[in-house]
Amino acid sequence: MSNIFSYNQENIDKAGAVLRDGGLVAFSTETVYGLGADATNDKAVASIFAAKGRPTFNPLIVHVNSLEDAEKYVYVTETARKLAEKFSPGPLTMVLLRKENSGLSPLVSAGLDSVAIRIPNHQVAHDLIKSSNRPIAAPSANASGTVSPTIAEHVHQSLGEKVNMIIDGGACSVGVESTVLDLTGEKVALLRYGGTTREDLEKILGYEMITSENNDTAPKSPGQLSSHYAPTKKLYMNVPLPKEDQIFIGFGNVEKCHLNLSVDGDLVEAAANLFAMMRDADKLEGKSIAVAPIPMIGLGLAINDRLRRASFPK
């Protein structure tokens, strides 16, 4: 039986319930198909990375239906308002500072203090956000390292049964991903070229955006930012036995740990807990943080990648 469902209210309601239950729903947007999960649910967001087989935790785009909704999660700046007025809903994603009490999973930001927000211009996406009553975290609905899907069948070919439902909204009209802008700095930085053109954006902004072409220090691949969350305490990974003065983050059936990413050794659960536990460990009394070995399979690759970044000497 195929997990592709046609677009009607009954299936939208069903999909909304699947999302609220922590499941994955692929859905059409005007750019490419998205692999959606409830952005407030750590485990659901972690399962996106598991389904895609992503080796790293790239931050994800959070999809909402209006700027008012966005304001629950991020600080909407004047520039964001100006750009949204012209280009939203549409293929434009704006990275904005995250509100402390946003309720979003830290995993959608991959530990950063910002969130990428997009208001998609597609009836299916709109109806699904509405019916789920949740902000929807969604990367493109394809396995890592493969091209983004623009029809429902592509999603099925790439992800198969790893997604609970695929809502078929036909072919995507834009076909390339959204343009991603960083609005957290003094000047807007263009992080990814996409469906909204640079020319159109700069016409509204009235100046040239920061890009990797005109600025050596402009972030090229946001997933690789060194400003990614790292604890202030020194972090050691792959530690089977911690020292007396260390805060120990365990994994699986380990004795005497302060925190445990997953007692059951479940990598999805571990991913869901990772960023929050690094923060928690940082607040505990101890000289440094030691993390138990995490197996290099499935989500373990992404977890180890993040731990490695967090363990770089400061």
Q: Which residues bind ligand TXA (CB under 6 A)?
A: 29, 31-32, 34, 58-61, 91, 93, 95, 109, 112, 114-116, 118, 120, 138-140, 177-178, 180, 182, 191-192, 222-223
Tokens 């910002």: give the residue.
114
Cβ proximity to ligand TXA: between 125 and 257 the closer is 125
Q: Which of the listed partners (Mg ion, ligand TXA, none) does 32 bind, with a CB threshold of 5 to 8 Å by partner kind? A: ligand TXA
**Nearest alpha carbon to residue 55 among 264, 265, 221:** 221
Distance CA 82, CA 84 (A): 6
Cβ proximity to ligand TXA: between 222 and 231 the closer is 222
Q: Which of the listed partners (Mg ion, ligand TXA, none) does 180 bind, with a CB threshold of 5 to 8 Å by partner kind? A: ligand TXA
Q: Which of the listed partners (Mg ion, ligand TXA, none) does 118 bind, with a CB threshold of 5 to 8 Å by partner kind? A: ligand TXA
152's CB contacts (< 8 A; 6+ apart) are 4, 26, 28, 33, 166, 167, 168, 169
Residue-by-residue DSSP string for 24-69:
-EEE--SSS-EEEEETT-HHHHHHHHHHHT-SS----EEE-SSHHH
Q: Minimum Å distance from CB 172 to ligand TXA?
A: 9
Q: Which amino acid is at 53?
A: G
Cβ proximity to ligand TXA: between 192 and 234 the closer is 192
Cβ proximity to ligand TXA: between 106 and 120 the closer is 120
Residue-by-residue DSSP string for 207-248:
SPPB-TTT-TTS-S-GGG-TTS---SS-EE-S-SS--TTEEE
Q: Minimum Å distance from CB 164 to ligand TXA?
A: 17
Distance CA 172, CA 30 (A): 5
Q: Minimum Å distance from CB 87 to ligand TXA?
A: 13
Q: Minimum Å distance from CB 226 to ligand TXA?
A: 13
Residue facing Mg ion at closest CB distance: 140
Cβ proximity to ligand TXA: between 61 and 272 the closer is 61
Q: Which of the listed partners (Mg ion, ligand TXA, none) does 61 bind, with a CB threshold of 5 to 8 Å by partner kind? A: ligand TXA
Cβ proximity to ligand TXA: between 73 and 248 the closer is 73
Tokens 């076909």: give the residue.
175
Phi, psi of 300 (to 5 degrees): -60, -30
**Nearest alpha carbon to residue 76 among 98, 91, 100, 106:** 98
Q: Which of the listed partners (Mg ion, ligand TXA, none) does 58 bind, with a CB threshold of 5 to 8 Å by partner kind? A: ligand TXA
H or E element, residue 301: helix 300-310
Among 40, 65, 88, 140, binds Mg ion (CB under 5 A): 140
Cβ proximity to Mg ion: between 43 and 192 the closer is 192
Distance CA 285, CA 151 (A): 52
Q: Minimum Å distance from CB 142 to Mg ion?
A: 7
Q: Is 56 in the site for Mg ion (CB under 5 A)?
A: no
Q: Minimum Å distance from CB 174 to ligand TXA?
A: 8
Distance CA 32, CA 115 (A): 20
Q: Is 150 in the site for Mg ion (CB under 5 A)?
A: no
Q: Is 158 in the site for Mg ion (CB under 5 A)?
A: no
Binding region for Mg ion (CB under 5 A): 140
